[in-house]
Amino acid sequence: MDPKEQQLAKPQVQTEQFPSLESTFKEAWERLTQGIGPLIVFNIIGFVPMFIFIFLFIVVFLAAAVGGVAALGKNPQALLQLLFSPQVIVGISVGYILLMVIFSLISSWMYAGLILSLKTRAEGRGTLGELLKTAFKKALPLFFVTLLISFFFMGGFFVFIVPGIAFLILFLFSPLVVVLEEEKGLSALRRSMGIASAHFWTIFLRLILLWVIIMGVSILVGFFQILASLSKEVGSLITILSYIFNIVVGWYMLAFVVTLYQQAKSITDPAKRGKLLWPTIIAVIGLILAFIMLFATINGIRQLVASGALEKMMASPKKTTQMQQTFNQQAADALADNTFAAINSGRIAQGLSPVDTDTNLCAYAQRRLQQLDLFGRLDDHKGFIEDKSNNYIIQTYFSSYDSYGEMYTTGINMATGKQIADGWAKSKNSLTVDKTVTNACVRANPNFMIVITGVKAKNSGTTQTYSQPPTPVPPNPTLTEFQKQFNAAQQRIQQSQTH
């Protein structure tokens, strides 16, 4: 053979530069628009069987869970031991693997169809029937290549993450090699490595740019969703459009990858292949580390179950809640004292005399806290206003006062006494600036804080100093509607505690 002919017969190493970024985006869009029909068909074909399969799996799982709880619900320890027994763990693992295999096969068929749909007409895309037939043939080889990619990615991920990301780029084109070329298995991975490694940073940076653009658009779409949620009709429409947008974005991302593959392939030596030795070593090390962590976790849980410690941990929330409630009440009492001190500091700063506390005012403040707790919210001073018209209440709590008032607040767990006092000081009739007020009492629980003020009558005698508030006197038999609701709620609480 002539030396010139021999030279032409050898594979030529391509030296052209990577096509421009603009051409990559433009060609990806052209692929998407030309293949929109087959893309829709393959999405429907893929989603319907997966939806049916997942629905059946959920039904079976729930039936098994309900049956297990019904059979062993009275013995939590036995249920925990059964769940973490080797037989159950193996059974769940086998069932999960079987589910994932079926799911992956269906996904591979759909994915192969989507890739074939993004071939241009010039590349010989073929009819819809031909695409379905070819995609079905490529499903199993694509499934095995996906398993190999998962092996490398998961292994690399557990070795400080970075190798996993590098493997994703190197093996990015492996599914495309399987579907669009005649290579399978490890050969497809080596082919992908050969193409991607020759243009690694160009491919990586263009994928990052695509991701940034899509994230920016997604944030903008999310912003419009928030605005549209103000209207039910518009919100529903935006939700549907958002779902369609996400599907189209997924198609465009795949079209972008197909375009990168075709562009990189056209300027890469066809004989170039990557080597899998070091990726395999790194992936094996990562998976060994992952299995060690998994078995250590399972063994630790089994030891907790065997020792009964896990059952104690499951039974401890009630005790923890009671301790937290005690702490919260103690903190609320301390906050009430600090608020009272801050009120007096504010009065002194205004040139006013500090107020004294009074056992009757404290008893009434405690009564009002109970009312607010039963209501579960602030009541617009409704209970206080009704009590002012009840002579029995007045004689019990306010007999030594010419006038009296109430201020309250909620959400006190993150506030200080000074902050609360300063907030009350902004009120027109604030205790901090009212020079006529002689007595006050601040009471609090984890939910509310209340202050009851009084203007001492001139002939009422000396002021009582607070020690412990007396038990509130039962209300007058002539009850208002508000007091009837309050007492009925107390009776319901007492009956539930008795039962």
Domains, the chain, ordered by start: 18-305 (no CATH), 319-493 (3.40.33.10)
pLDDT at 490 (0 to 100): 57
Q: Are 399 and 390 in contact (CB under 8 A)?
A: no
pLDDT tens, per residue, the chain with 499 residues: 444 334 333 434 444 688 899 999 999 999 999 888 888 888 887 777 767 777 776 776 666 666 555 555 555 556 556 666 677 677 777 877 887 788 778 888 888 888 888 887 667 777 888 888 888 899 899 999 988 998 998 888 888 888 888 998 999 999 999 999 888 889 999 999 999 999 999 999 999 999 999 998 888 877 777 766 666 666 677 778 888 888 889 899 999 999 999 999 999 888 889 899 998 999 899 889 988 988 888 887 777 767 666 556 555 444 444 444 444 788 888 888 888 888 888 888 888 888 888 888 999 999 998 888 887 788 888 889 888 888 888 888 888 888 888 888 887 776 777 788 777 777 656 666 778 888 999 998 888 889 998 888 765 544 333 333 333 434 433 445 555 555 665 565 556 555 5
| Contact predicate 304/310, CB 8 Å | yes
Among 414, 395, 415, 416, smallest CA distance to 404 is for 395
Of 172, 116, 114, nearest to 145 (Cα)?
A: 172
Q: How far is CA 40 from CA 32, 116, 118, in A?
A: 11, 13, 12
Q: What residues are paired with 454 via a beta bridge?
A: 404, 439
Q: Which of 113, 146, 153 is nearest to 131 (CA)?
A: 113
pLDDT at 346: 84
Q: Is 126 left (phi over 0), alpha (psi -120 to 50) or beta?
A: left
Answer yes or no: are the C-beta atoms of 470 and 359 closer than 8 Å.
Answer: yes
Rounded Cα distance between 399 and 391, Å, is 10
pLDDT at 492 (0 to 100): 57
Closest CA to 352 of 343, 360, 339, 365: 343
- Which pLDDT value is given to residue 213? 92
pTM value > 0.85: no
Separation CA 272–CA 281 (nearest Å): 22
Which pair of tokens denotes residue 291? 């299995």
β-bridge partners, 408: 450
401-410 and 439-444 strand pairing: unpaired
Distance CA 327, CA 324 (A): 5
Helix (H, G, I), strand (E, B) or coil at 422: helix
Say how many C-beta atoms besides its own lie within 10 A of residue 351's C-beta. 7
What is the reported pLDDT for 3?
44
What pLDDT is recorded for position 461? 45
**The tokens 């549907």 sit on which residue?**
240
At 411 the pLDDT is: 72
d(CA 137, CA 109): 8
Q: Indicate the SS3 state at residue 211.
A: helix
Q: How far is CA 77 from CA 90, 308, 486, in A?
A: 20, 7, 43
